[in-house]
Amino acid sequence: MKKWRCLVCDYIYDEAKGWPDEGIAPGTLWADVPSGWSCPDCGASKGDFELIDD
Amino acid sequence: MTSATLPSPTSWTDSKRYLWPLGALVLLLPIVGTIGYEQTGWVAMLWFAFFILYGVIPLADYLIGEDKANPPDAVMESLAADRYYRYALFASVPVYLGMWFYMAWFGATHALPWYGWLGLTLSLGVGCGLAINIAHELGHQTSPFERFLAKLALAPGFYGHFYVEHNRGHHIQVATPEDPASSRFGETFYEFFPRCVAGSFKRAWTIEKKRLAREGKSVWHWSNDNLQSWAMTAVLWTIVGVWLGWQAVLFVAIAGAYGGSLLEVINYLEHYGLMRQKRADGSYERCQPHHSWNSNHIVTNVLLYHLQRHSDHHANPTRSYQTLRHFDGVPSLPSGYAAMIVVAYIPSLWFRLMDPKVVAHHQGDMSKANIKPELREAVIAKYATASA
């Protein structure tokens, strides 16, 4: 499971946790998150996330 | 629908394309004023940039009017990728730095009456305010070079905390009572300004402290974005002090403070009284187009790089200025920001003009508005009775 960080506000999308509030089940891979999804904190688009290597 | 009825992507042209470099050129207005002063001896010429901001630009907005045109979806990608727009924006940073050094030199080498000083300071301050807006656009981009330019553009006016605070503070908490940079119904600009500046500094510091702690670093680590921009300020102010004397440092510091007040008065009018609602779990709903005040006035939109298409900006924070869109039905200001900041300076006029708009937006249900806490219950009761 990987984590992706919003380049605007530092929100972290954790594939293990998903985002159940908006129907993205835990374990959803980043590639499977809908392209129209945007950062829950600041609204930046999916393209504005970067993979965190750790 | 046949393809003939759709505008061809190649046939669409950006009507503002060749106007965008004006954003860099207006930064030369303070210099134009000093040349005018040298040529004529009229001290009033030192007020030139100030007069343009508060007089000519609001009038030009009124005369030239609005533009609601949006780029068609088909060109959005190529428009966003067009380097021309990036270079038009980048150019403003060296122009600003050159103007700033020139103004410091001019102030230090000319004996002026007090009202000449005041005009000179305010004119430089107009430039500092515009530069914060340029840094705003640059700071939302994701490349390291643009982010460096953003910090650099904030440095002369000592506003480096904005780079951190805006993206990772304001954009998350916008239009909530917790956001120091969102103004409340019934709050005057003079109440908002100190609350906003103090809250923003504090938030910028905390955000970086937390980020660095996550990385196992001290808040004093060199990679602290606040410290980076403040270090640039220290270098620039030291150069001015050594070259031109401490009075010149005082001069640029006061101009910077006034420039900061211009940014904050714009913050004041961008979200006045608007509030995101809480969901059942206590978190706030996402920021939506109806949580920002907008304006389509052409002159101010060009000079501010479409900042006034503010709803789209909050919906898409990394969207470049040339691609920001107008939305129908969003909260709209009666004029562009240049005229509205004058209104914001006069609280009685501001309340008379804007309060009915906030009430109408909420259809009288002011429990949905962001209200100054001391007034909250009275305001809700007042309009509930009025609309019942």
- Give yes or no for a contact between A4 and A50, defined as CB atoms under 8 angstroms apart: yes
Sheet with strand A49-52: strands edge to edge? A12-14, A3-6, A49-52
Per DSSP, the three-state class of B80 is: helix
Contact A10 B142 (CB under 8 A): no
- Chain B residue with minimal CA distance to A11? B168
- Whole-angstrom CA distances from B342 to B2, B189, B336, B348, B367 are 49, 11, 11, 12, 28
Burial of B8 (0-12, 13-18, 19+ CB in 10 A): exposed
Those of residues 339-358 in B touching chain A at CB distance below 8 A are none
Nearest-CA distance A39 → chain B (Å): 9
Residues of A in contact with B142 (CB under 8 A): 7-8, 48
Phi, psi of B182, deg, nearest 5: -115, 125
Q: Looking at the complex, does the CB of residue B314 fall below 8 Å from at least one CB of chain A?
A: yes
3-state secondary structure of B212: helix
State the DSSP H helix or E strand holding residue A12, giving kind and residue range, or none if neither: strand A12-14
H or E element in which residue B281 lies: none
Q: Give the gap in angstroms from C-alpha A1 to the nearest C-alpha of chain B.
A: 20
pLDDT recorded at residue B315: 86
Nearest CA in chain A to B170: A42
| Stretch (H or E) spanning A49 | strand A49-52
What residue type is B356 in one-letter code? Answer: P
Residues 1-54 of A with CB under 8 A from B: 7-11, 21, 38, 40-45, 48
Residue A52's DSSP bridge partners are A3
Average pLDDT, chain A: 90
Contact flag B317-A10 (C-beta cutoff 8 Å): no
Q: B276 CB near a chain A CB, below 8 Å?
A: no
Mutation target to probe the A interface, by most A beta carbons within 10 A, among B137, B165, B168 is B168
Please provide residue B151's backbone torsions phi and psi, each rounded to the nearest 5 degrees.
Answer: -65, -40
Cα–Cα distance measured from residue A38 to residue A44, given in angstroms and rounded to the nearest whole number: 5
Both tokens assigned to B98:
């050159």
**Residue contact A43–B314, C-beta within 8 A:** yes
DSSP strand pairing (A49-52 vs A12-14):
unpaired
- Residues from chain A that touch B315, judged by Cβ atoms under 8 A, are 43
- Most A CBs within 10 A among B286, B292, B313, hence the mutation to make, goes to B286
Q: What is the DSSP letter of A3?
A: E
What are the chain B neighbours of A8 within 8 Å (beta carbons)? 140, 142, 167-168, 171, 317-318
B18 DSSP assignment = G
Query: Which residues between 79 and 138 in chain B have a beta carbon less than 8 angstroms from any beta carbon of chain A?
Result: none
Amino acid at B227: L
Q: Under DSSP, is residue B291 helix (H, G, I), strand (E, B) or coil? A: helix
Residues of B in contact with A48 (CB under 8 A): 142, 317-318
- Cross-chain Cβ contact B167/A41 below 8 Å: no
A21 φ/ψ angles, rounded to the nearest 5 degrees: -50, -35
**What is the C-alpha to C-alpha distance for residues B244 and B295, in angstroms, rounded to an integer?**
42
Tokens representing residue B4 in the block: 């003939």
Return the bridge partners of B297, or none: B66
Q: What's the confidence (pLDDT) of residue B4?
A: 45
Element (H, E) at A52: strand A49-52
CA B325 to chain centre: 17
Give me the residues paired with residue A45 across strands: A38
Cα nearest neighbour of B140 on chain A: A8
Distant-in-sequence, close-in-space partners of B361: CB < 8 Å, separation ≥ 6:
B273, B274, B290, B331
User: What ipTM was predicted for this assembly?
Assistant: 0.80
Q: Which chain B residues contact residue A19 at CB under 8 A?
A: none
CA dist B191 and B194 (Å) reads 6
User: Which is nearest to B296 in space by CA: B16, B52, B77, B54?
Assistant: B16
Contact A48, A13 (CB under 8 A): no
pLDDT < 50 stretches in chain B: 1-5
User: Which of B147, B292, B318 to mutate against chain A (most A CBs within 10 Å)?
Assistant: B318
CB pair distance less than 8 Å for A42 and B167: yes
Cβ B318–A42 below 8 Å, yes or no?
Answer: no
Do B326 and B70 form a contact (C-beta atoms < 8 A)? yes
Closest chain B residue to A41, measured at CA: B172
DSSP H stretches of helix in chain B: 22-25, 29-40, 48-51, 57-64, 73-81, 83-90, 92-109, 114-139, 144-154, 161-165, 171-173, 189-214, 225-244, 246-270, 298-303, 310-315, 337-345, 347-361, 376-387
User: What whole-number distance in Å separates Cα of residue B51 and Cα of residue B361?
Assistant: 34
B182: left (phi over 0), alpha (psi -120 to 50) or beta: beta
pTM of the full structure: 0.93
- Per the DSSP assignment, residues forming a β-bridge with A24 are A19
Please tell me which of the candidates A8, A21, A45 has its beta carbon nearest to residue B167: A8
